[in-house]
A = this chain, B = another copy of it.
Amino acid sequence: MQAKDLAEDYPVVHLRDSALDAARLIGSHRRPGVVVVDDHGHPVAVLPGSQVLRFLVPSYVQADPSLAGVYDERTAQESLTRLADNRVEDLLPDRDTHTRLPVVDHDATVLGCAAAMARLHSPLLVVLEDGQMVGVATAARLLDELFG
């Protein structure tokens, strides 16, 4: 068994898609995040749902969560507009602080996948073949294959 045999479909967004599309995709797929690809279809980042939320929460609430009031109609409309007005690339952390994209080659062994997830503390790996994304291998799928 190789990495490509573990690869599953995963939600993907483009760097220039609206941030609202990314938020909705994470919500509807119920995954912890989405894979972000560039113009050539090459994966460049994983955008976690928590990063989208970071973008939504006013900075004074991030500094002091006790100031978080109710999420009312006005707040809802504001955050929807804010997401719709921004692109996925605007939500990504600075390149300097980028989390390394967790990737693995399609012919990596199961043990190689496990080692990469362990090293990167990542619950997923983007599986690549000739630079293109084949799918995503998750730690859960791997554990299911090994001990299920």
Residues of A within 8 A of B (CB): 1, 20, 23-24, 26-33, 48-54, 56-57, 61-62, 65, 68-71, 75-76, 79-80, 83, 108-112, 114-123, 138-148
Contact = CB atoms under 8 A, between A and B. Distances in A.
State the oligomeric state as a number of copies: 2
B65 A27 contact: no
Contacts of A142: 27, 49, 53
Nearest to A64: B115
A90 B13 CA distance: 38
B50 A139 contact: yes
Contacts of A147: 20, 23-24, 27, 80, 83
A32 B30 contact: no
